[in-house]
Every structure is written in C-alpha cells, then in structure tokens.
Amino acid sequence: MKRILILTLAIIFSSCTHQTNTEQNDFIKDYLERLENSRKYLILVAENMPEDKYEYKASPESMSFSENLMHIAWAMDWHSQTLLGGRKARDWNTDKELKVENKSKKEMIATINKTFNETIKLISEFNTTQFNDQLDYLGLNRTKRQIFLLLTDHITHHRGQMLVYMRLNGLKPPRYVLYQ
C-alpha cells in the first residue's frame, strides 16, 4: 500500500512538473514569435523614415528618431545579454556600437537587426528554471520573467515615439503588424 501511494505521488508530481515545463517552453515559443514580429515592424518603420529625417525631434528635450532606434538596441542588449544572460553591462560612456555615432540609416538598421538576432538567440536558449530568479532592476526587485515583459514593453514604447515622428513629418507609418 505504501509503495502504491509513493508511486502515485511520484506520477502526480512528475505530471505537474512536465506541465510546468511545457507551459514555460510555450511561453518562450510565443515570446520569440512576438519578438520576431516586433523586429519586422520596427525595421519597416526605420526603413520608411527618410534618412534626412532621422535627426528629427518632436521637442528639444526629446530623443531624435535615430536616437530612439539605437536606444532600443542598447536597452534590448542590456535587458537580454546583461539582465537575462548575466554578461557585464556595456559602458555607456565608451561603447559606441549601439549608439548613433555617425552611423548611416543602413548601418543603424543593420545594428538593430543584429541586436535582435543576438537577443533571439539568447532567449531561444534561455533556461526557464531561471524565470523566478530575482535581480535588481533600477532599484526594484524583478524576476527574469518580468524582464522578458519589460524588454518588449520598452521596444513598443520607443517604436511608438518613432511612429509619432513619422506622422509629424507628414509620413504614413507602415501598417501595424499584429501580435507584437
């Protein structure tokens, strides 16, 4: 009787663990689909803004269109490679790879695309047992699962500013790509 109880509990525990792992893997799969769609839409936005409008700012204290684009790359790198992946953060004062710094429109689009590739690679290999690991997020305790959500929210926030810049310049933004 005791063996049957232990075996039953082991089977129940095993099925619960399997379901949780499946759900976590489904989250990663859904997240990667969303991130790919976000990339496609952001690149469409960047391609449709004329290069001579890349330095446009809605106000003096605002970031320019190009600064928003490269800020997305910088923050995506920080959220994924540093917070999720554990790599030391880039030094904002010395690292020029993810800054505007005399880059052409074509170079900025290539940089954002490369950053998406690196982020997607890291996330596709992410160990989902780390989802509940806590870390410091600008003075707040956040789980790595929350970092996933903050990453996409940040991309959307700055892309939205870029869309407004297009409208303020009399341009029609590309049609919204669903599920991003």
CB atoms within 10 A of CB 136: 9
- Binding site residues for a divalent metal cation, as ranges? 71, 154, 158
* CATH code, domain carrying 147: 1.20.120.450
pLDDT of residue 8: 56
Which three-class secondary structure state does DSSP give residue 151?
helix
**Range 114-134 burial, b when 16+ CB lie within 10 A, else e:** ebbebbbeebeebeeeebeee
Give pTM, 2 decimals.
0.86
On whether residue 178 sits in a domain, the answer given is no
Average pLDDT value for residue range 110-129 = 97
pLDDT of residue 180: 60
* Counted domains in the chain: 1
Nearest CA among 116, 133, 128 for reference residue 41: 116
Across the chain, what does the average pLDDT equal?
A: 90
Residue 4 scores a pLDDT above 70: no
Find the domain containing 104 and state its range. Answer: 28-168
At 122, the pLDDT band (50, 70, 90 cuts) reads: very high
On whether residue 45 sits in a domain, the answer given is yes
On whether residue 7 sits in a domain, the answer given is no
Residue bearing tokens 């290069």 = 51
* Alpha helices (H) in the chain, listed in sequence order: 2-48, 65-77, 105-124, 144-168
Q: Considering only CA atoms, give the Rg of the chain.
A: 20
Nearest CA among 129, 142, 151 for reference residue 31: 151
On whether residue 100 sits in a domain, the answer given is yes
**Range 139-175 burial, b when 16+ CB lie within 10 A, else e:** eeebebbbbbebbbebbeebbebbbebbeeeeeebee
Residue bearing tokens 């407004």 = 164
On whether residue 5 sits in a domain, the answer given is no
On whether residue 146 sits in a domain, the answer given is yes
Rounded CA-CA distance 112/77 in Å is 10
- Binding site residues, as ranges? 71, 154, 158
CB atoms within 10 A of CB 63: 17
Residue 19 scores a pLDDT above 50: no
On whether residue 23 sits in a domain, the answer given is no
* Per-residue pLDDT tens over the stretch 135-146: 999 999 999 999
On whether residue 21 sits in a domain, the answer given is no
